Amino acid sequence: MGCGPFDPQGDGERFVSHGEHDETRVVAGGRRREWTGPIVNPPVYRASTILFDDCAALKAGAGRNADGEFHYGRRGTPTQWALAEALTELEPGAEGTMLFPSGVAAIAGALLSVLKSGDDLLMVDSVYEPTRAFCRQVLAPMGITTRFYDPLVGAGIADLIQPNTVAIFLESPGSLTFEVQDVPAITAIAKARGIVTLLDNTWATPLFFRAIGAGVDLTILSCTKYIVGHSDAMLGSVTATPERYRPLRRTAQLFGQHVSPDDAFLGSRGLRTLAVRLKAHQEGALAIARWLDGRSEVARVLHPALSSCPGHDVWARDFEGASGLFGFVLAGGDAGARAALIDGLRHFGIGYSWGGHESLALPVDPAAIRSATHWEAEGPLVRLHIGLEHPDDLIVDLEEGLARYRAAR
Ligand SMILES: *Cc1c(COP(=O)(O)O)cnc(C)c1O
């Protein structure tokens, strides 16, 4: 069905094809000529009603439900389709991407596209806490059991599989504690048993970890973080293999999931600079992690690129890079001493989320949200997101913070 100036049945002309470098793909992805016309970025197309030429066109469209076709606002416009397509292109082997209004909505949608009553889910113990809450408060009452496993289990996952285990959920590195999982070992076992794997890949993004290539079936991003990249919109995505894409899409549509074109636009706009931003986040975070590693006030730095991080060898084998989020354990002291450090920082904001251009510091306490493993540490834990400021300015700021911590300890 042809609608307005667009022809969704057009020949799909694009600026680049598959096989380019990531830097090129993030710049060009989703910018189909038939969606953008002569405009560089897909414009914000706001729509609820889509008008059809005549009754025959309306009737023909009703049964179709294809990607990238005008139907009704809930199914999106070129603004959302362009972002979804650009994200799909970053995961070779993927069939498609569904957008969600937040990362948590993406996690929920992905899980519900796989699980039904009576099923068993294996969930990594270092998972983002709201994912855990979803299992407990939504999946459990539906009759879906969740069993938590050690993030460092690797091929040992085989021993945990039951006859009704349908899915394994991974997050690597782990939220707050940064254990790097052996994703290929787990997906190989899952594939052999017909079990679906889902990965929260928010930390690495497809640029630093190719999830579908590593055998993952559904890869999830909180696009709120590095894709949007400027701390001003909430967005999530799930990119899936050919086998899992249709069920994912059906679930998202049945739940009425929809992303506003304004937020999709911000996601596309952020994506264009993802490659250069990630490099800068990586460089700054590594400089600061190494500096912290040499400080007597710091017991341990939890940064996947440092050998002190559990799973560091797996990171070195599997990842293309490290992003800007990591943690460090203080050498003794209590929450008050930690607050003395954090409260006086000039360049680090105190708040949830991360992935924006600005640095953040967060006090985190993982012990209470573990069930399969124990978190024990020499002192309180701080999570840092290193933004795009000059690392030297951040180091001066942290040095003053560590002096406040010493005084308060
Ligand atoms: C923030 C975050 C989410 C949730 O994303 P929202 O967009 O905030 O809903 C999921 N997973 C990880 C690892 C996150 O850091």
DSSP for 317-367 reads HH-S---SEEEEEESS--HHHHHHHHHT-SSEE--S---SSSEEEEEE-GG
Q: Choose, from 75, 132, 210, 225, the residue flagged as catalytic.
A: 225
**Among 223, 247, 93, 239, which residue's Cα sits nearest to residue 166?**
247
The pLDDT of residue 7 is: 44
Distance (angstroms) between ligand 1 centre and the Cα of 63 equals: 35
Residues counted in the chain: 409
Distance (angstroms) between ligand 1 centre and the Cα of 140 equals: 21
- Which residue owns the Cα nearest ligand 1 atom 6? 103
- Which residue owns the Cα nearest ligand 1 atom 2? 222
Atom of ligand 1 nearest to the CA of 234: 7
Determine whether the shortest distance from the Cβ of 175 to ligand 1 is under 6 A.
yes
Taking the C-alpha atoms of residue 150 and residue 179, their distance in angstroms, rounded to an integer, is 10
Which residues lie below 8 Å from residue 121, measured CB to CB, with a gap of 6+?
Answer: 111, 115, 135, 139, 144, 145, 146, 147, 165, 166, 167, 168, 169
Task: Clarify whether 128 is annotated catalytic.
Answer: yes
User: Is the separation of the CB atoms in 259 and 252 below 8 Å?
Assistant: no
The pLDDT of residue 18 is: 52
The pLDDT of residue 62 is: 82
Point out which residues pair with 167 in neighbouring strands: 121, 196
Atom of ligand 1 nearest to the CA of 353: 1
- β pairing state of 145-149 and 120-124: parallel
Taking the C-alpha atoms of residue 62 and residue 191, their distance in angstroms, rounded to an integer, is 36
**Among 23, 21, 86, 62, which residue's Cα sits nearest to residue 267?**
86
Atom of ligand 1 nearest to the CA of 106: 9
For residue 271, count CB atoms less than 10 angstroms from its CB and return exposed for 0-12, middle for 13-18, buried for 19 or more.
buried
CA of 171: how far to CAs of 79, 205, 311, 331, in Å?
29, 12, 13, 27
DSSP string for 166-211: EEEEEESSPTTT-PPP-HHHHHHHHHHHT-EEEEE-TTTHHHH--T
Which residues lie below 8 Å from residue 56, measured CB to CB, with a gap of 6+?
Answer: none
pTM: 0.95
The pLDDT of residue 19 is: 61
The pLDDT of residue 15 is: 42
Distance (angstroms) between ligand 1 centre and the Cα of 110 equals: 14
The pLDDT of residue 63 is: 82
User: Is the separation of the CB atoms in 252 and 235 below 8 Å?
Assistant: no
Taking the C-alpha atoms of residue 240 and residue 282, their distance in angstroms, rounded to an integer, is 27
Determine whether the shortest distance from the Cβ of 100 to ligand 1 is under 6 A.
no
Determine whether the shortest distance from the Cβ of 128 to ligand 1 is under 6 A.
yes
Using 50 as the pLDDT threshold, list the residues of the chain that sit under it: 1-17
User: 249-264: per-residue pLDDT in tens?
Assistant: 999 999 999 999 999 9
- Which residue owns the Cα nearest ligand 1 atom 7? 103
Determine whether the shortest distance from the Cβ of 222 to ligand 1 is under 6 A.
yes
Determine whether the shortest distance from the Cβ of 236 to ligand 1 is under 6 A.
yes
**For the chain, what is the radius of gyration of the CA atoms?**
22
The pLDDT of residue 9 is: 44
The pLDDT of residue 4 is: 30
> Rounded to the nearest 5°, which phi and psi values hold at 340?
-60, -40
User: Is the separation of the CB atoms in 189 and 122 below 8 Å?
Assistant: no
Taking the C-alpha atoms of residue 100 and residue 102, their distance in angstroms, rounded to an integer, is 5
> Best substitution site from 99, 127, 128 to test ligand 1's pocket, by max atoms within 8 Å of Cβ?
128
Task: Clarify whether 200 is annotated catalytic.
Answer: yes
Taking the C-alpha atoms of residue 234 and residue 236, their distance in angstroms, rounded to an integer, is 7
CA of 323: how far to CAs of 98, 101, 309, 354, in Å?
24, 23, 14, 11
Taking the C-alpha atoms of residue 388 and residue 400, their distance in angstroms, rounded to an integer, is 20
**What is the sign, positive or negative, of the torsion defined by CA atoms of 84, 144, 175, 195?**
negative
Q: Choose, from 22, 120, 128, 226, the residue flagged as catalytic.
A: 128
Burial of 84-109, coded b for 16+ CB within 10 Å and e otherwise, reads bbbbbbbbeebbbbbbbbbbbbbbbb
Distance (angstroms) between ligand 1 centre and the Cα of 260 equals: 18
**Residue 26 is which amino acid?**
V
Distance (angstroms) between ligand 1 centre and the Cα of 87 equals: 17
For residue 339, count CB atoms less than 10 angstroms from its CB and return exposed for 0-12, middle for 13-18, buried for 19 or more.
middle
Task: Clarify whether 405 is annotated catalytic.
Answer: no
Distance (angstroms) between ligand 1 centre and the Cα of 37 equals: 33
Distance (angstroms) between ligand 1 centre and the Cα of 104 equals: 6
Determine whether the shortest distance from the Cβ of 104 to ligand 1 is under 6 A.
yes
